[in-house]
Structure 1
Amino acid sequence: MPTVDQQTEWHTITVRIPFANAKHAATAKQVIEVDRELQPQAVRRVLSLEDNILVATFTTLTVRLARLVLNAFLENVDLVVRTISEFGEESERQPSQA
């Protein structure tokens, strides 16, 4: 079985996820980047921000792995978006109790 160094064909996927504002995009990036890839020898992930857009680039050894990694990432994004939608704006509007 070839090692990563011997592998010549990597598969790259870049996904751009727009958010309502730059703060939400930064929150999503911060939450998602805490989790490391389970197979770092086979998956490389780079997250970056372009204003209100979260940009995720995945490079994987196989197409199947690219699909699995992308699916897991999109599930995480969905959870972050639903959480922001449910709690983010509401908590920002409410004055803190002293």
Structure 2
Amino acid sequence: MCTLSTFLRILCEKQDLICNVCFFITHNFDFICSDLEVDFGSDENASIVYAALAIDKELQPDKVKRQMSVANGKLSVHFEGVEARFLRASFSAFVDVLTLATKTIEQFGQGMDS
């Protein structure tokens, strides 16, 4: 059985993202937190991904909260969950959509600059 941090690291590696992914997990008395930072290299690309991901709200906002921000070409995401299993499910679904948005920019983004 793997720990939550191992699961999240494997998930990021399996998605084959071309960006730098870092996350930290902290335990508090009432919730578990995870921070994800993805470097897209430009504010434009990070903002495009932010806009695509901001539409989808958490399915169980009483169990998991997600806060996103963009700065210096990086998308930063902070997750808080009441249990590891809710955090794991939310993080996994988020990384799936993040991967799709990233691959879309990689495939079609070069033509957007001109």
Q: Fold match, TM over 0.5? A: yes
Which of the five TM-score ranges fits, normalised by the shorter chain?
A: 0.7 to 0.9
Residue in 2 that maps onto 1:27: 48
**Larger RCO (CA under 8 A, 6+ residues apart):** 1
**1:44-77 C-alpha deviation (Å, 9 max, x unpaired):** 1100012111000010111011111111111111
2:82 is aligned, of 37, 54, 61, to 61
SS in 2 for 1:35: coil
**Percentage of identical aligned residues:** 24
SS in 2 for 1:37: coil
Query: Structure 1's 64 and 16: CA in aligned 2 closer, same or farther, altered over 3 A?
Result: same
Identify the residue that residue 88 of structure 1 maps to in structure 2: 109
In 1, the alpha carbon distance for the partners of 2:73 and 2:97 equals 17
Unaligned runs of 5+ in 2: 1-28
Q: Is structure 2 residue 76 aligned with structure 1 residue 51? A: no
Distance 2:89 2:69 in 1: 20
Structure number with greater Rg is: 1
- Residue 96 of structure 2 corresponds to residue 75 of structure 1: yes
Question: Structure 2 length as normaliser, TM-score?
Answer: 0.70
What root-mean-square deviation, in Å, do the aligned CA atoms of Structure 1 and Structure 2 show? 1.2
- Say which of 5, 8, 32 aligns to 1:11: 32
Cα distance between partner residues in 2 of 1:22 and 1:35: 21
Distance 1:20 1:9 in 2: 35
